[in-house]
Amino acid sequence: MFSDAGTSPLYTLFVTADQMLHSAGTLAAFYHWKEPYSSAVMFSSEPRTIAWTEYLLYSSFTNLVTQLLERFEELTGRILLNNIIRDINFTSTAHGWGVLVHQASITDQTIFSSPQAAADVYSRLIEVIFGHIESVLGLICWISWCEK
């Protein structure tokens, strides 16, 4: 479990003989853990470390992308959303980044050389999303303008 000094954990990691699970959030997942455990450790992480900065970038990226894609699907439907997801995953795979978007989640298997490298990859993937959004919403605005 990782937390800033004096705050509740922001990220939990459970390691067992069979699996490793992680989640953002509170200790609720820990309290409801069904298997017996032998120890629990809380680590404090300074926000200025490279690892913490990279995690915050990842967390911000996943929250932003998840919300953008949910809203885009509400406005345009599943078919156009699938086009964005396919393009993001193609771009990521073509560059060897290991960041994949699924219907409701994002998997990032990349170990970046620096927080700046992570920010560059995340920025490029967000550009892919904005390119789709811009073209579709621009078309919708143009169609609605023409109807006037």
Domain boundaries, the chain: 2-44, 50-147
Question: How many whole angstroms separate alpha carbon 22 and alpha carbon 41?
Answer: 14
Q: Are 71 and 79 contacting, i.e. CB atoms less than 8 angstroms apart?
A: no
Distances (CA, A) of 1 to 6, 7, 10, 58: 13, 11, 8, 17
The pTM of the full predicted model, rounded to 2 decimals, is 0.66
Q: Tell me what pLDDT residue 127 has.
A: 93
Structure tokens at 95: 């560059």
Q: Report pLDDT digits (tens) over 46-104.
A: 666 787 788 888 888 998 999 999 988 988 889 999 999 999 999 999 999 999 998 77
Q: Are 106 and 61 contacting, i.e. CB atoms less than 8 angstroms apart?
A: yes
pLDDT range class, residue 111, cuts 50, 70, 90: confident
